[in-house]
Amino acid sequence: MKIAIVEDDINMRKSLEIAMSDYEEFEVKTYKNAKDALKNLDDSFNLVITDINMPGMDGIEFVKELNGRYEVIIMTGNATLNRAIESIHLGVKDFLLKPFDVDTLISAIEREDKIQKVQKSVPSTQKSTDGFLGKSEALTKVLNIADKASKTDASILLLGQSGVGKEVFASYIHKNSPRAKKPFIAINMAAIPENLIESELFGFEKGAFTDASEAKAGQFELANGGTLFLDEIGEMPYSVQAKLLRALQEREVRRLGSAKAIKIDIRVISATNANLHDKIKTGEFREDLYYRLNTIPLHIPPLYERKDEILQIAEAMVKQNCEKYGFELKTFSEAAKKQLLKYKWPGNIRELISVVERSVILSETQEIQKEELFLEVRS
């Protein structure tokens, strides 16, 4: 297993290097800051362990830049624990609370190593977690609005915290709309480099820029007749927002390098966990675009307001993961169930699904224990 450790404190960094040198199964590279790490990280790395408090780019910004390409363990002290817990939204699955001993570090790495090995042993064509895995009164209220909205062509803005299932809602609306048999195209604004967003959305002609060796249709064209889901719309660069607004108003797009207008017939659903009103005030988001996208706002409540779903989702995911990895069916102990219900789930359903998969892989018996959820350090 190849590991990158990012730590600005030279004494801590050297101590970790010395401690890890005793373990031949781990290849460790250390970096004094996030920018150095970003320059050197490639596909050969399996795990990143990073501090939070670092000069320049801190650990949270660093994790954002990694954009889910690597599994991450956060090193944190009590003073930064709340910030570390916030990183759950970004997919961080484990924490090391300073000061920690070598055994604690190695245990965390070995857990991640075991998880990755089990995951790699299963073909990637396994069933995904599409659809709603639980029911609650809060969910039913939102679905009732979604059902009514799905019958129209009105633009819908999905609002809610990261991990609440906004793409699942967008897919549900599409599948229950008159456009159900046409394409559903989802695109995450935060995952596309700013200089590529325009060509990704609107397409380009051959020769439009240096690497444009052939013409390519954009996501608007690919979604024609169906639904285009624009996730993390609040992260769209201001310079592109005017072009998006024009495409929605005129119902046509122009590929980069072309003067020809291409007619489009699509329904747009967008989503954000950002406060767009604040972004409008600071000049980061166009007010006219906001009103164009926000014909029907749909607020998706966080998981802690949908407690009836927690055990339903957890048990459904246990069954699915046991089937996925070829394990006999596992269950939760009563203490584990209480822990699942007690925990606040800042990362919402995405975090719950991750925690359950992890516990299924790491549990030593057919009954998953409270300790095997590894939620204590996050609470």
CATH 3.40.50.300-classified regions of the chain:
152-301
End-to-end CA distance of the chain: 29
Confidence of residue 155 (pLDDT cuts 50, 70, 90): very high
Hey, what are 333's tokens? 């102990």
pLDDT band for 116, please (50, 70, 90 cuts). confident
DSSP state of 90: G
Q: Which CATH class is domain 2-120?
A: alpha beta
Topology given in CATH for the domain delimited by 152-301? Rossmann fold (3.40.50)
Report the relative pairing of strands 367-368 and 331-332 from DSSP bridges. Answer: parallel
Tell whether omega for the bond before 237 is within 30 degrees of 0, i.e. cis: no
Every domain range in the chain assigned CATH 3.40.50.2300:
2-120
Q: Once rounded to an integer, what is the mean pLDDT over residues 140-154?
A: 93
Question: Burial of 273 by CB count in 10 Å (0-12 exposed, 13-18 middle, 19+ buried)?
Answer: buried
**Under CATH, what is the fold of the domain 304-378?**
Helicase, Ruva Protein; domain 3 (1.10.8)
For residue 29, is pLDDT > 70? yes
For 283-339, the pLDDT digits (tens) are 999 999 999 999 999 999 999 999 999 999 999 999 999 999 999 999 999 999 999
Most confident of the following: 41-50, 89-98, 278-287: 278-287
Residue 362 has pLDDT above 80, yes or no: yes
Given pLDDT bands bounded at 50, 70 and 90, which one contains residue 170?
very high
**pLDDT, mean of residues 61-70:** 85
What is the tens place of the pLDDT at every residue in 219-265? 999 999 999 999 999 999 999 999 999 999 999 999 988 889 999 99
Model pLDDT, residue 323: 92
Alpha helices in 87-193 (DSSP H): 102-120, 137-150, 166-175
Lowest average pLDDT, out of 14-18, 55-59, 84-88, 171-175, goes to 84-88
Confidence band for 147, pLDDT divided at 50, 70 and 90? very high
**Number of residues that this document lists for the chain:** 379
Inform me whether the pLDDT recorded for 357 exceeds 50: yes
The pLDDT of residue 102 is above 90: no
Q: Which pLDDT value is given to residue 128?
A: 41
**Whether the predicted pLDDT of 127 surpasses 70:** no
Q: What confidence score (pLDDT) does residue 96 get?
A: 83
Task: Considering the chain, tell me which residue range(s) the CATH 1.10.8.60 domain(s) occupy.
Answer: 304-378
